[in-house]
Amino acid sequence: MDALDAIFARRSIGRLQPPAPTPEDLDTILRAAAVAPDHKTLRPWKFVVLDGDAKDAFGGVLADAYRARTLAAGKEIVAAKEDKERTKLGRAPLVVVVGAVNRGEDSIPFIEQYAAAAAASQNMLIAATALGYGSMWRTGDPAYDDDVKAALGFSEDDAIVGFLYLGTPTAAAAKHPNEADLTDLVTRWRPQT
């Protein structure tokens, strides 16, 4: 699949089934992410792969973080929400957590480092599509939770850009390629006369 076909074919698919990307395909997907544009070649990203038993175990981290957030807010724990946090990574056979790592470079604001990590995420999704896999970019409360970040090896100065779910879409989940509608999205700037 050529690059433009992959861009237009990429769709968010909420539930994915095995097979996950093969080790070779995952390597290609991660290498595609690692060549995203970034200022001063800071490589302000980190990729954490969650699969197999580790992915299942990380559900416990998400459930614990939900409990801590809920109690800190003075609210009551909802068992169904806690269970959803514990099992949400099961929506795909493989999840890659993309983090924006603050490199502490004064000349490159962190928002630009974050944008570079977002570009790496998009490269990853397009590469997965080109290789025939489905994907979904998710965030939610865990992406902004310091306990979740710490469990993944990120510091408080870093950010989770997304949880990228990768796998194979079911035939029923297959979607038509995106149609680009530029209505109200493009203007041409002209100097005032």
Lowest mean pLDDT among 63-67, 137-141, 167-171: 167-171
pLDDT digits (tens, 9 = 90+) for 100-128: 999 999 899 999 999 999 999 999 999 99
Model pLDDT for residues 43-52, shown as the tens digit of each residue: 999 999 999 9
Q: Where are the alpha helices (DSSP H) in 35-186?
A: 52-72, 79-87, 110-130, 146-151
Kindly report the average pLDDT of the chain as a whole number. Answer: 95
Element (H, E) at 166: strand 159-167
Q: What is the pLDDT of residue 51?
A: 97
By residue count, the chain amounts to 193
Give the per-residue pLDDT at 21.
98
